Amino acid sequence: MLNYHEMANAVRFLSIDAVQKANSGHPGMPMGMAEIGVALFSEFLTFNPNEPKWPNRDRFVLSNGHGSMLLYSLLHLTGYDISMDDLKNFRQLHSKTAGHPEYGYADGIETTTGPLGQGVANAVGMAIAEKLSAERFGEEIFNHYTYVSVGDGCLMEGISHEALEIAGHLELNKLIVLFDDNNICIDGKVSNTSSTKVLERMKSYGFDTFTCDGHDITEVMEIIEKARHSEKPAFISFKTHIGYGSKKVMDTSSAHGSPLGEEEIQNVRNELEWDHEPFKIPNHIYDAFSHASARGKHEYIEWQKKVEKLDEGLKQELNRRLNGTLSDNLKEALNTFKKQTSEKSEKVATRKASGNTLEVIARFVPELISGSADLTGSVNTKTSEMTPILPHDFSGNYMHYGVREHGMAAIMNGMALYGGFIPTSGTFMSFLDYLKPSLRLSALMGLRVIYVLTHDSIGLGEDGPTHQPVEQLATSRATPNVLTFRPCDQVETAECWELALTAHKTPSVMSLTRQGLACLRTEHTDENLCAKGGYILAGQNDDSTDAILIATGSEVEIAMQAREKLKESGVNARVVSMPCMELFDRQSTEYKLSVLPCEVSTRVAIEAGAELGWHKYIGAHGTFIGMSNNGESIFGASAPAEELYEHFGITAENAATTILDKIRKKKKA
């Protein structure tokens, strides 16, 4: 018979002692959730520390990531590659045991958590991915649970409402939410902040709800077992005491974010009858935990046998998806599409160009799961062959996320973390601000998630400043490890999609227009010119270059028109299309100077957005033409697109005049 009391205390004191040694951290939550963690890991969670990426493992997400030592202690005790030294180095530089769990630092950490509520939405994405995988490869191959631990803070954050509504709607019956219901947040009692009836809220979403004493491990196991048999997603409210075992800080906010101190730790040791030195765990406790991993190892062997029985083609497809590789035929199909596009030379909005490209991609990338935030007809993320994902029908590949941008983005992160899927979804670019925290975590974790953000400038016209993004491009570009693509026509759009799909450890933002744009790439090449981020679109073969026009997206057409006007005045202007600043910045100095030679200092950048970030290309003497302050609001205005471009001076005439003025001043000097 396992001594669960001792096992729980082992988790408690590893957590207490690690926080004390670091002189930083949150001891109260691991002290309060120790029994829940032990019950889950020892009796229910299916995992194999020797094969930590096993696709059919149960997922455990610690959404209340401030309690990270709960997870680290459990991973250490169950045989994962987190050593006692790692626990002693909690919150130290280069340690696997960061202040909040960070994906990629150690096996068993399924996602990066800390920003409260994110883990909840990630877990919903994982639960959706499990259903999709089972539909495609069979329940013999994918048939596991997703557990997510949450606190009051997670449930207060708006993202939890967005994600849990979707979970209830889709009836994700293998999603189990473990609520640490201790009625304490940093500022004091939750009752000071909230009167929400949490169980009623969860029932309204379509969850089965349960309540039990979180410190009675027998009752905890009984309730988890009931939840596993629910036909709906399950929500368990565990009544716990934060800082359990400490008479000084239990049930107070003092247990939340500070070490207990040596004297109080000794008092807790006495109270819980734990007579072992810090970081000393008796062998019989390790033995008690080992049976859980042994169970998982057996399940893994049985799973391998089932995979071997798969049809050979299905087995190869499973391996391809899990390895993250793309179909060999995709590039050829995209090149054929590019050639046809160049020959047709049609005027098309890049949001439509993106939809056209997706029609090609979806036929060769069945792992693509698309969607939108209730804007399908506007963002063109649903192809003619895509079908919706519905309750009890996960045969589709299109998610109707509803008006839930933040939840949508975090759910996509969960799908990407799960493996075997490439999630993409769309909304208007002005709503980047609604999903930005999840985009940041996509970047932090290095996930291949593709954000389709349309209506990307004042070019959307009459909807006005609330919907006209100005600063969002700069925001996206300022976020580390994000590729921000702003293509100028159908050909560049196809190339940018190819680059986004092959960026395995980087999320991508596709910034796309509402208004139609001319086809500027009329000469076909199999080479992906956008791969270098910026390239010479026109003026490469001129004997001399007098000026350089740099532009992105819809403004490349304006730059080309300005070049023609300058020709009439005898000025040779080069046009540089810059669809992705991040990729251009990665190129060799030699290449960058070949595109933007130092000797040509007469430069104008054109973009219908904020100026931030452009001076590294135009220099101190260059001019930016965009949403600069002209004495009026630079957030846009309600009017037809053509009038707005004229009003804000984003025109070929202004660009040409600016360059001519610069050249005249140089000659006078």
Query: Which sequence positions are flagged as catalytic?
Result: 405
Q: Which residues pair with 484 in a beta bridge?
A: 509
CA–CA separation, 214 vs 181, rounded Å?
9
Between 217-228 and 28-39, two packed helices, what is the crossing angle to 10 degrees? 60
Count other Cβ atoms within 10 Å, centred on residue 94.
7
CA–CA separation, 72 vs 100, rounded Å?
10
The residue count of the chain comes to: 669
Angle, CA 225 vertex, CA 207 and CA 203 arms, to 5°: 10
CA–CA separation, 13 vs 8, rounded Å?
9
Asked if 613 contacts 594 with a C-beta cutoff of 8 angstroms, the reply is no
Kindly tell me the sign of the dihedral angle through the C-alpha atoms of 116, 93, 87, 97.
positive
Residues 6+ apart with CB under 8 A from 527: none
Torsion on CA atoms 110, 116, 120, 123, rounded to nearest 10: -20
Residues 6+ apart with CB under 8 A from 638: 462, 463, 464, 465
Asked if 47 contacts 108 with a C-beta cutoff of 8 angstroms, the reply is yes
CA–CA separation, 584 vs 535, rounded Å?
8
CA–CA separation, 292 vs 288, rounded Å?
8
Which H or E element spans position 74?
helix 68-77
For residue 17, what are its two tokens?
């002692």
